Amino acid sequence: MNMEKKALEALLSIAESIYDQLKNGEIPEVKISTRTKYNIEFNEESEVWVYGDRTSTRTAKTLKGAYMMLRMAYVMGFIKDQLRINKSSTLRELYYISENWGPAKFDDQSDSDRLIEDLEILTAFQREHFHIRPEEDGATVIGPVRIREETRRGVREIHCQDDVGEGGYQIPVNVDKLEFVDHDAKFVIAIETGGMRDRLVENGFDEKFNAIIVHLKGQPARSTRRLLKRLNTELDLPVVVFTDGDPWSYRIYASVAYGSIKSAHLSEYLATPSAMFVGIRPTDIVKYKLPSDKLTEQDIKALNAILTDPRFDTDFWKAEVKLQLDLKKKSEQQALAKYGLDYVTDVYLPERLTELGVLKA
């Protein structure tokens, strides 16, 4: 039985449960894991953060809850029809399709996105198994790795240095269909911003250090995180993350290494717990005398929230966040250009990667 068929059976079991409750004269309800930082716990075996035992109940006792149940029924019906004819749709398309659902119409796309996440948690399947695709275009990879992928014109092999332009190889939505053929890489570096990614490529960082450069494009898509996970576990390559020096960027690192709170049900599939944080650290702002901006009220609030986030409950993060609160400053990756365009690849990254043990002294 393929995954799509199993996913459909899991969806139909939810519908059957709601039907049975109605048939028995009960007000239908479903229980689902609470998605907050207070309901994630560390799984010792997989070394990632997953949902704990806290649940919330979605019930038709209230008008709001009844509408939620109605929308869930419509979405499950839509997915059933979609799988039957082997079609797919984007999260955005699903939202617009609900325009035809009368009272079940979604008021905002965030509501339909959240309902798909609910169904993932309830069924233990991923939205891709429902043939629901994200909107984001793929991030990119450039580096010494050869991959094999299925295309509409058959199977092809691509070397992510020799066979691509400076834009690199675009990561597909379903990374599990890729096969790693061979590689000469020593490590993987995941980079937040396009400007810094381009700087490393232009400076030949991937060739000089046998590095696979992955552009995160800000908060990384699931496909990007899955690729990092596979490169780490299947090719035994260390993964390092290089971001701006602000609380929002630290959360980008956390989503790669620990798993995001919103998708903790997928942490074992997406997270790379051994991923290391390169910077920009608050320590770097001081050590390298980096140009900086003043923290905003939102930045300060986010930093204080990190101090209560269990994913950051380490001596390193506590010390760095407290230092940043004292400094009241934040810096971007490209602030290193203060010392010239080659400084980041000739000095900063080699120093940090040596400190982390990725490069040998």
Q: Annotated binding site for Mg(2+): which residue ranges?
A: 192, 244
- CA 315 – CA 107 distance, rounded (Å): 43
Q: From the candidates 96, 269, 339, 343, give the one annotated as an active-site residue.
A: 96
The alpha-helical segments, DSSP class H, found in 85-172 are 91-97, 109-123
Q: What is the phi/psi pair of residue 271, to 5°?
A: -80, 150
What are the E-state strand segments in the chain? 29-33, 40-43, 48-51, 55-59, 89-90, 132-133, 140-142, 145-151, 154-159, 169-170, 179-183, 187-191, 211-215, 239-242, 276-279, 293-294, 329-330
DSSP code string of 284-316: HHHHTT---EEPPHHHHHHHHHHTT-GGG-SHH
Output the known binding site.
192, 244
Task: Tell me whether residue 96 is one of the annotated catalytic residues.
Answer: yes
Of 79, 68, 144, 133, residue with least CA distance to 107: 68
Hey, which residues are catalytic here?
A: 96
